[in-house]
Structure formats: structure tokens, C-alpha cells
Structure 1
Amino acid sequence: MKRAEWRNQQMAKKTHKRRYISGIDGLRTLAVIGVIVFHLAPSALQGGFLGVPIFLVLAGYLVTYFMLLDWDNERSLHIWAFLKRRISRLYPTLVTVLVATTAYITLFNRSLLTNIKATLATNLTFVYNWFEIGHGQSYFDRAMGESPFTHLWTLSLEGQFYLIWPFVIILLLTITKKRWQSALILFVGAIASAVEMAILYDPNNINRVYYGTDTRFFALLLGASLAFIWPIHKLSENASKGSRLTFDGVGLLLMLGMIYYYITMSGSDAWAYHGGMFIFSLLATLFVAIIVHPASHWNQWLTNPVFTYIGKRSYGIYVYQFPVMIFYENSVKSIGNHPVINALIQVAIILLISELSYRYIETPLKHFDWHQLGASLKNPTRAVTAAIMAVMVVLTFVGMATKPEQSTADSLKKTITARQAAADKKNQKAELLQKKQAAQAKKFAHNRKLEKQAIKHLSAKKRKVMKEYGITAQEMVTLQHTPLTSVGDSVMIDISGGLQQLFPGAVVDGQVGRQMDAAQSIVQQMASSGKISNNLLLNLGTNGTVTSDQVEAVMDAVGKKCDVYWTTAYVPNRSWQNEVNSTIIAASKKHKNLHIIDWYSLAKKHPGWFTSDGIHPNNTGVRYFARLVAKSIAKDKQ
């Protein structure tokens, strides 16, 4: 190389000096806190899942910016060196969480070994998000035997981005003359991705749009488009006081907008998929632009020892948090009674494991020379770390080689799907019967003579049902003439068979993973179209909290002539159990037509009534739950 060329190259490198933005660690901290709070207590921050788009926007921006910086310095991209850096950044911690989690379930929770080979293989090849579309459960189902690997779908999305992005950058730089043109192409691509999400959105199966690379790529593309027009090293520090105030003010508005979505956006709300997540990602992208600009104070405001500490460890905190939470919830069955204490314990465990991983896995292996492996094992700390990893790897292979039991989630899905199909089949007949029942209810009200005649003529089939559920003849007659509309989640589907045996006119509307915000709109639609009978049974609170405002909205929708029966929630290993129950009990004191059916008080005395998740009733639990509902309503109607 000629001396003049070498000098110019060195001058270019000095000109394009990389500036570390410590406020980025602060933004990562806000993202990971949102995700953890959402997983621990969805009701406390229902939009906390939006921390993921923040991570994706940052990945898109920083990766693209540093690629463009290398291109400007050397007029080329060292693709293999880039991929090597990214793999060495992702793989050590990813492999650790995969083998540690698999080792744990091999020893303590073998039902989760179902599909373990495919789960490990797709994670290691960065296609796990597509595997989740076909085999995983909804990210928002909190009571269906959650997988400790579900959250890793984001790493597959990032891995796919890293693999294709150098080639995309080269193509863009080849076909465009101006950087803003490349940014525009990427922005249009982001819009196309968001539009595809809106078109493909199916409320009954959100997995396709939630996990799909094509429908979630918009956050990465928005961050990447910013890198083309907002390179850190070209942002001027010379700014007037007015400009600084403008930057700070816009940053404040963006922060408030993001907080608003954190608080209000629900993953079960159609709006999230019809532009909500895209708008949030756009706000996050603009906020990144504010943070990295030297004229703004937001870099300084988001910089402090706590944020720096968490931000640097945010990758480890993210990947370890879900396995810790799921294993803790499966082991501690009384989380609902002490949600705050248990949440703090879980956070402490996550931080401890993340710190150990950061010190002994993530940092040492980031630039590790594998040719020096033998020599490095002479270090006692590294030798112990290697020995622990070796044991976990052995247990992982044992788990892979062992024939797994059917997973809790798969078993529940199979059972609930069958019960849902049976309920749907009976719903059509029940809807026709309800009008007749409403007239009969008035006729039989307080008419003992008619009751005695009805009791005398109860069929053998009805008497068999009475015996099975422990229902008296008088109660059975009352139930025969009581129309019932029921709305709930997977637990409602569980008891649907019993309800429809006891209430011939019972219409059951249940859905796996249903939360209160979705149920509220369903009840309001049913009420406005006259599809709710005079008796409404609600079983909600399994998958998240219920607010007093939501209860009031439901009661306003159904009116005072409809008797509402609300079952208390029994989710002992979820933090929101007591909050749900206290909310609906408080509401019942305000509304005379709101009646509480206390499933919680009965269920907590009988842990043997439940499947292994401690939430869904088994056949015995189903019978007693349906019996409790029937006796409670019959007593109220007599």
C-alpha cells in the first residue's frame, strides 16, 4: 500500500471515531424492565412486551451504523468478521441457557422434554420463531404450561437479521447514490412489514404475526433506516440553546408516548397488530435518534450506575428471566398469596444468574481464543465453569435421548380442544332453548306445585346427572329452567361439559388465554346484540388481572336486569390471583345483581383436584367446580 493511501485511511479512521453512547444502556434497561414486569405481573404493565421492539430497533440501528462506518473507512464490509463477532456475542449465553434449562427439566420437569430436540436445533440455527408458529403457544397464554424457551424467538429473529444484513447493506449501497434513498427503501419495507402484520392478524391464532420474521421485521428496519440518515459521528455538538431545548422536549414527548403504550397496549388487543406495535417502534426509533445526538441531554439523563449495570447485562437478564420464572412458579404454589415478595425473590435469582453468566460466560468468551482452551483450563475458576457446563451438556443429551412424556401444554391443549368442540356443538341447541327457558322460569317461579310435578317426572338421565354432581331434585328442576350465558377462559372450557349437563340452555363462550380486556368487548357486543340471557356466568382472571373499571364496564353493558355470577380466580402460582378476587368482591358490594361464586376458597383446600399446573381442574375438579356453580345459581333462583 502506498504511504499516501495508508495516511488517508488512518485519517479517515480518526475522523470516524466511534463514540460510546452510555444512554443506550439506559434504554436497554427500560426495555428489559418492561419485559420482566410484564412476565411477572402482566396487569402491572400490560404493554411491557413492547420492550422487545426497543431491543430490535437498537439492533437495527447499531448494527447498520457500524457496518456503514466500516464501509466509509475501508470501502468494504468484512462479512465473516462481522458474523464471527455477532455469533460470539449471541452463542455462549444462548448455548448456556439452552443446556442449563434442558438439564433442569431433565431432572425436575420431564414433561417439558417434548419437542426438545427440535427446540434446541431451531434455536441453534436461528429459526426457532418459525418453529413456535407451528408448535408453540401464544406468547400471552399464562396458564397453559408455558415453555421456558418461548422468549428465545427474538434471538432467532436477530440471528436471521445478522445473517442477511451485510448483503442487504452492500445491495443498498450499490443501487442507491444517496444515503437517504437507502433509508427510504428501508422505511417503506418497514411499513410493508407492519401492513402484512395487520392483514395476517387472526385473533384466534396470533402466533403467525407475533413470531413471524416478515411481520416483526419492521422494528429492525426502522432502526436500520435511522442509521443511514443519522450517523453518530456526523451529529454536530454545536447547537444553540433553543435547539437543545427542542431536542430535550421532543425526547420527553417520545418518552411519555412510549410509557403510555407500555401502560395501555395489550397483546390481546387487535390495535397492537393493526399499527400499535409499529407506532411504538417508530417512537422508539425517534427516541434513539434523540439519545445519540450530542445536543440532547437524554444520553446524560439515562446514564447512571444502575442503568449502566443492568444495560450491560440486559442480554443475559432477558434470556435467563423466563426459565427462572417458570421453574419458580412450578415449584412455589403460593405466589398469589405473596406476589410482591415472590416477585422480588425471582428478580434476585435472575440478577444473580445473569451476573454469574456475565462474569464467567459472556465476557470471557466474547473474544476467547479457542486455541488456548487447554491452557485456560489451568485457571481454577474456568475449570470449575467448564466442569459445570460439561455436566449440563451431559444432562441435555440424556434429556434428548429419553422418550419424553406428553408436555403439560400439549396435554391441556388436547383436552381443552376436545371440550371446546363439544361445547360448540351444544351451543347451537342451547341458544334455541334459552327463549323457551326464559318463559318457563317465570312460570315456575315460587310455584311449588309445578316444582313437585317436575321433580316427579325427572328422567332417568337427569337423575343420573343429579347423582354425579350431588344436586338435589329441586335444584335440578330449577336449573332446567334457568337460561345461562357463560364467558371465560380455558378454565371455563374445562367446566363447559358439566355446565351444559346441568344447564340444558347454557351457551359457553370460552377461549384459551383470554384476558379481561378481550372478554369485556365480547360481553359488550353480546349485550348490544341481545345475545346474553338473564344470567351471565363469568370466569376471568386466570391469565391476568381484572380492574374495577373493566368490571364497571361489563355491569353497565349487561344492565341491572341481568344477574351476573363471577367465579373467584384460583391461580396460586400467579401474582394477580388475590388482586382479581378482591376487585370482583368489592364490585359485588356495589351491584346487587353481581354475585360471587367462591371457587378459590373451595379449591385451595383440594390441591388434588388439579392437573400438574395447579390451575386447570382435572376430572374431579371439573365436577366439583360445575357443582359449585350449579348450587350457587340454583340457591339464588329458588
Structure 2
Amino acid sequence: MQQVRSQQTGKRLKKSRYITGFDGIRALAVVGVIVYHLLPYNLQGGYLGVPTFFVVSGYLITDLLLQEWEQNGRIDFLGFYARRLKRLYPALVFMLVATGTYITLFERSLLTNLRSIITTNMLYLYNWWEVGHGQSYFDRFNGESPFTHLWSLSIEGQYYLIWPLILIAFILIIRKKKNIAYLLLGLGVFSGILMGVLYTGPDTLNRVYYGTDTRMFSIIFGALLAIIWPSTHLKKQISTSSRWTLNVIGILSILVMAVMFFELSGQNTFTYRGGMFIMAIVSTTLVAACAHPGADVNRWLTNPVFSWIGSRSYGIYLYQFPVMIFYEMRVRDIAANPLLNATIEIVLIMVISELSYRYIERPLRHYHYKQLGMSIAEFLRPNSQYGLKRLWLVPAMALVGVCLYGSAIAPTKAQKSALQENILKNESSANAHNKAALAKQKKARRLAANKRKMRMLMNKKLTPTQYQIAKKYRLTKKQYLIASHQPLTAIGDSIMADNSHDLQTVFHQAYVSAKVGRQIWQADAVLTQLKKRGELAPNVLINLGTNSPMTSAQIDKVVQAVGKGHRIFWVNTHVPTRNWETEVNATIAKAAKKYPHFYVIDWHGYSATRPDWFWQDNVHPNPQGNVQYTHLVAKNISQQLNHF
């Protein structure tokens, strides 16, 4: 074997070989993650590229550590840690400083906890900070952070710190590789089971998604593979049947990964009770097939495009969120051209990653830091060989200074905007009204059974107060009377919370359950509880779809939770700042064709040309928009109920 320097450890190993196909695996993984973040409707399981990264890291690091142990009878721990820092820290520090600077200068709404975020990332503890402070990885609207994706780098950093010590302890105490493999298998299975046990629904998602203990099975499986399938012990000359067995395993692994990329939603319970575990196993079999020199999988995954993406995958992963979030905060109509905007974002990510690779990652990875003192002295010398390159120090120091200033002034608790204050006020009002609304609903159901009394009610003259309400919301007498006397259960997100006061002003018997950040997979539990208590009204108003994409299966689940004997009125979305707006509305429209008791209220079409109806985010209706929203809802519901 040719003597090569490992890109993972930097250690010169006589028998080590660079497996080019691993760049292909990294490329597939990072493309999955990027496409998921940009077009979640098209690749709802793309986030599963992360377990694949973990498996590759687990295999490569363990394989190279074992090679070093076999050849030298020892492992240079300090050298290993130094090489890891040289490989990972420069780009991470630059990303943190650049992002912090941009936030300080242009997006101060994201300043909250900046100091803690940067500190925990530098210490590789950010995933645990996210468990207690972060939002759901799948909440794509409610204050999404440009740092959220860094949780996985913290887990890898913890692995790099602890695993070499554990591995040597295993070698010295257990000794037999077979027994070490069994122990790792047990630990991996335990981690997978722990994920399934701790996941009990949306409230525990952050704990299992970000937790080191619940995500370690992917890295452990990679390490286990390195124990039983060391790259330098695999023979190139194997039988034809063995070669094709490995090839078929590789092909099937890629196919299963592709299916899971397209089908396995991050809100699916199966994801945490087997799905992600299966993805780790499939990634491990793909790595095994690719690592074997007798198979063709390595060659199939080797090409210039995959090599370019794979070698820059670390930078691509690092810079993706800041680019996406900052771009989407500036471009207010993402939904109008989702593919065009996604293309622009991809180009920006690739350009920044290439610049980072050329001028930060590669030079600093190979720099000999023992020469730092001499380099500083040369830098300060009047006739320095660095020449005009020294001018780069000015913007570098400016970036650091602005970022430090932003960290110093960053609040630990976000200050509420006028919109947030309005939502909190309306939520409080809705909660106070709900108990009375339920009592009125019981009385109204008895009244609805008496057709004669209902006709008399409709013929009554409006009181001055009722007349003013009907006038404000542009409702006819009949529309107002139908709306005001109909029991209604309203389930929604922050749009509904923002509108709840206006809604209950018209719908006197409306029970409103609205929560900021609520997603469609959380509606099932709310509806089930209301139904169990006998508090689900015959008319159910739903406003969900703002915070993330939704699938037909998720809508089906909501419809099933509502059950027969109820009419569903679903308000479609006005969320032009997100690329899933069109797909969400198409999915809602599809459900209306499927279910005879399902009606769409077209808020998107009604409000599309009226930016003056919205707060600055162009998503939440302002007071004027709430009046228009309530008018549309009341008009649609009264028209449908007039037929019954």
C-alpha cells in the first residue's frame, strides 16, 4: 500500500488508504440535508443525512486510531486532539463570528442568547443547550435560529474527545475485538431503545433529537464496523459472488436511504422508534460496501462532483443555515418562486463554502502552529513578506469586535414585539372566554334541535351592539346571527392566537385553542382530548400550516381525530416568506375533495394582494387584517351552515 497521510487524523500511516467513495457518501448526506431545509415538501426525510455523517465519522476515526495502535503500539492523544481542532475549529469559529456580526449589524431580533450559543458551540456542548433552550428542529417558522444545525457538530466533538480514551480502555481491558464488538453492539442498541422510550410525543422531541445519548447509536455503529471490518485488512481479490454480494448490499443500502429520505417525516413517531435506527444500520452497510476494495461501490461513488461536495461537506453543512435564514429574512416572497430562491441559496452556500475551504479550512489545517511566534514576528516586520495581505487583519478584527459587542449586549430573554404582545393579550382573552363558550355550546345544541325557535331567532332584530359588530366585520344580519349562535371549536397556531379576540367577538360560542408554534402533528392530541370530554363542537375551525410543511397523511389523521358528525373548516395559509406555502395550500385543497364535510376557507387568495393587512412579517394579520380574516371565516361558515 502506498503511504498516505490521513485526512481524518493527519497521521502518516504506512497501510492507510484514502477511500474516495466516502466523499460520495458525504455528498449524498449533505445534499439530503440541504434539499430538506430548502424544499422540505420534496424531501421530507433529508434530515436523515446526519446519521449517515455520524456513521462515516465513527468508522473513519476508529479505523485510523486502530491503525495507529497496530503500527505504533500507542495512540498520540494530544496529536489527535490537535489535528481535530485544526480541522474543525477554524471554519466553526469563522462561521460563529461572521454570523454573530451579521446578527449584530442587521438582524438584532436574533441576538437573544448569542453569548451562550457561541460559548456552548466552542465547547461542543451546544446540543445539550438546545435540549433546554432551543426550538424544535422541525419548527421552520417560529424564530428559527441560524445556529440550530450545529447540534450535530457538538455530538461529534464530544465523540472525538472521549472515544479515543474509551477505545484504548477497551483494547487494554477487554482485548478481544470480538468482545469489544459485542459491547459496542449492545451500547448501540441501548442508545436506539433509549430514543424510543424517551420519545413520548412533540414535548420530548428536543430531548431525543439533540441528546448525545439518544443519537450515539449511529457513531457507535460506525465504530463497531471499524472493529470488525478494518479497511487495511480487507482483501482486494475476492470471488465474483462475494463482489456482487457487496455490490448488491451497497445498491440496496442506497435505495433504502433514498426511500427514507423521501418518506420518513421528522414528525413521525416511527422515526424515533425504529426509523432513525434503521437509517443508521443502512448507512453502516453502505459504508461497509464502500470500504471494501473488492467491491465496485467505492468506484461508483467516486466522481469529480461527489469529490468536490464531499471534501467541502463540512463547510457546506456549517454555512447552510445562516445563508438560508438571512436570505429568507430579506426576500419576503419566497413562496412565489421556491425553486429559483432555493437555487440562489444553494449557489450562495457553495460559493461561501468554497471560499472557506480555500482560504480558511485547508490553509489552517496544514499550518504548523509551532511557527506561530515566528509568523507573528514576520507579520509585524516593516518589510514583511506578507505585504498587503496584512490588510486582511482589519476586517478580521472588525468582525471579531462587532461579534463580541453583540455577545455582550445580547439579552438572555427575547423582548416581545408589538405582535407578540398582541398575541399574548388575545390568548389571555380567549382562555377567559373559553369556559363561558363551552356552557353556551351546550345550550345552543339544545336550541339547534328546535327548528321553530331557531327560525324565530333568525327573525329577531339586531341589538345596537350586535349591529355594530356586524357592521365592523361586514356581515349581513343573517350571517352574523348564524355565526354568533353556532358552536365552534377553533384549533390553530399563532395566526389563530392573534385572531382569537376578533373570532370570539363574532362567534360567541367559539372555544379557541391556539398556541404559538403549533404544528399539525400536535393537533391530534388537542382534538382527542376535547372529544373525550364531550367538548368538541359540531363545527371545527382549523388554522395550521404556517410553521412547517404538512402531508396528506397528517391531515387525514386530524380528520380522523375530529370524527364523523362534525364539519371541518380549514383556513389555508398566507406565508409568502416560506417555500412550502403553495404545497401546503394544495394539500389542504386535496383534502377538501376527499372529504365531503371538509371545507377550505381561502385566506391566501383573499389576502394575497393586501400587505397592509399584515404585521411586518407579512404573515400575521394586524388589527385591520384580523377584521378581514374574521369576516372571511364568518362569511364562509355561515354560508355553509345556511344549507343545513
- Do they superpose with TM above 0.5? yes
Distance change >3 Å, CA 465–CA 214, structure 1 → 2: farther
Tell me what 2:345 maps to: 346
Tell me what 2:237 maps to: 238
Tell me what 2:3 maps to: none
TM-score under structure 2 normalisation? 0.88
Paired with 2:296 and 2:306, the residues of 1 have a C-alpha distance of 16
Matched, 1:486 2:490: yes
Pick from 40, 46, 49 the counterpart of residue 38 of structure 2.
40
Could you say what the CA RMSD is over the residues aligned between the two structures, in angstroms? Answer: 3.2
Q: How far off its partner does 1:394 sit? A: 1.8
Tell me what 1:184 maps to: 182
Matched, 1:397 2:375: no
Matched, 1:85 2:83: yes
Q: How far off its partner does 1:236 sit? A: 1.4
Contact 1:143/1:615, CA 8 A, preserved across alignment:
no
Contact 2:114/2:410, CA 8 A, preserved across alignment:
no
AA partner of residue 375 (structure 2): L
Matched, 1:615 2:615: no
Q: How far off its partner does 1:605 sit? A: 3.3
Paired with 2:27 and 2:413, the residues of 1 have a C-alpha distance of 37
Deviations 1:77-135 (A, max 9, x none): 11111000111111100011111111111111111111111111111111111111222
Paired with 2:632 and 2:375, the residues of 1 have a C-alpha distance of 64
Higher mean C-alpha displacement, 586-595 vs 403-412:
403-412
AA partner of residue 438 (structure 1): R
Contact 1:545/1:576, CA 8 A, preserved across alignment:
yes
Paired with 2:223 and 2:421, the residues of 1 have a C-alpha distance of 42
Tell me what 1:57 maps to: 55
Higher mean C-alpha displacement, 17-26 vs 419-428:
419-428
Deviations 1:186-215 (A, max 9, x none): 221122222222222242322122111122
Q: How far off its partner does 1:487 sit? A: 3.4
Q: How far off its partner does 1:522 sit? A: 7.1
Paired with 1:200 and 1:414, the residues of 2 have a C-alpha distance of 34
Deviations 1:459-510 (A, max 9, x none): 95x6775576555554332123212233333333333343334334334444
Tell me what 2:8 maps to: none
Paired with 1:93 and 1:329, the residues of 2 have a C-alpha distance of 23
Paired with 1:472 and 1:336, the residues of 2 have a C-alpha distance of 35
Distance change >3 Å, CA 519–CA 584, structure 1 → 2: same
Tell me what 1:598 maps to: 602
Paired with 2:561 and 2:452, the residues of 1 have a C-alpha distance of 26
Matched, 1:115 2:109: no
Instruction: Please list, as runs of the form range in 1=range in 2, the aligned pairs for 1:364-403 lying within 5 A after superposition.
Output: 364-370=363-369, 371=372, 372-374=374-376, 375=378, 378-379=385-386, 382-383=389-390, 385-402=392-409
Paired with 2:168 and 2:417, the residues of 1 have a C-alpha distance of 45
Deviations 1:605-636 (A, max 9, x none): 34344444432334544444233312321233
Tell me what 2:71 maps to: 73
Contact 1:485/1:507, CA 8 A, preserved across alignment:
yes
Distance change >3 Å, CA 239–CA 381, structure 1 → 2: farther
AA partner of residue 309 (structure 1): W
Paired with 2:365 and 2:420, the residues of 1 have a C-alpha distance of 41
Paired with 1:122 and 1:531, the residues of 2 have a C-alpha distance of 45
Paired with 1:393 and 1:60, the residues of 2 have a C-alpha distance of 33
Tell me what 2:7 maps to: none
Tell me what 2:640 maps to: 636
Paired with 1:381 and 1:584, the residues of 2 have a C-alpha distance of 59
Contact 1:32/1:317, CA 8 A, preserved across alignment:
yes
Tell me what 2:581 maps to: 577
Paired with 1:343 and 1:382, the residues of 2 have a C-alpha distance of 35
AA partner of residue 23 (structure 1): G
Paired with 2:303 and 2:13, the residues of 1 have a C-alpha distance of 28
AA partner of residue 160 (structure 1): Q
Distance change >3 Å, CA 237–CA 465, structure 1 → 2: same
Tell me what 1:95 maps to: 93
Identity of aligned residues (%): 44
Tell me what 1:544 maps to: 548
Higher mean C-alpha displacement, 404-413 vs 253-262:
404-413
Corresponding pairs, count: 623
Distance change >3 Å, CA 394–CA 182, structure 1 → 2: same
Paired with 1:405 and 1:185, the residues of 2 have a C-alpha distance of 42
Instruction: Please list, as runs of the form range in 1=range in 2, the aligned pairs for 1:212-251 lying within 5 A after superposition.
Output: 212-251=211-250
Tell me what 2:507 maps to: 503
Task: Give the secondary-structure state (helix, strand or coil) at the position aligned to 2:579.
Answer: coil
Contact 1:53/1:219, CA 8 A, preserved across alignment:
yes
AA partner of residue 315 (structure 2): G
Pick from 147, 150, 153 the counterpart of residue 148 of structure 2.
150
Q: How far off its partner does 1:511 sit? A: 5.0
Distance change >3 Å, CA 127–CA 251, structure 1 → 2: same
Task: Give the secondary-structure state (helix, strand or coil) at the position aligned to 1:533.
Answer: coil
Deviations 1:130-181 (A, max 9, x none): 1112221111111102111111111111111111112111211122121121
Higher mean C-alpha displacement, 231-240 vs 273-282:
273-282
Higher mean C-alpha displacement, 626-635 vs 419-428:
419-428
Tell me what 1:324 maps to: 323
Tell me what 1:298 maps to: 297
Q: How far off its partner does 1:68 sit? A: 1.1
Tell me what 2:4 maps to: none
Q: How far off its partner does 1:519 sit? A: 4.6
Q: How far off its partner does 1:313 sit? A: 0.3
Distance change >3 Å, CA 304–CA 429, structure 1 → 2: farther
Tell me what 1:132 maps to: 130
Distance change >3 Å, CA 185–CA 373, structure 1 → 2: same
Task: Give the secondary-structure state (helix, strand or coil) at the position aligned to 2:202.
Answer: coil
TM-score under structure 1 normalisation? 0.89
Instruction: Please list, as runs of the form range in 1=range in 2, the aligned pairs for 1:423-434 lying within 5 A after superposition.
Output: 423=430, 427=434, 430-431=437-438, 433-434=440-441
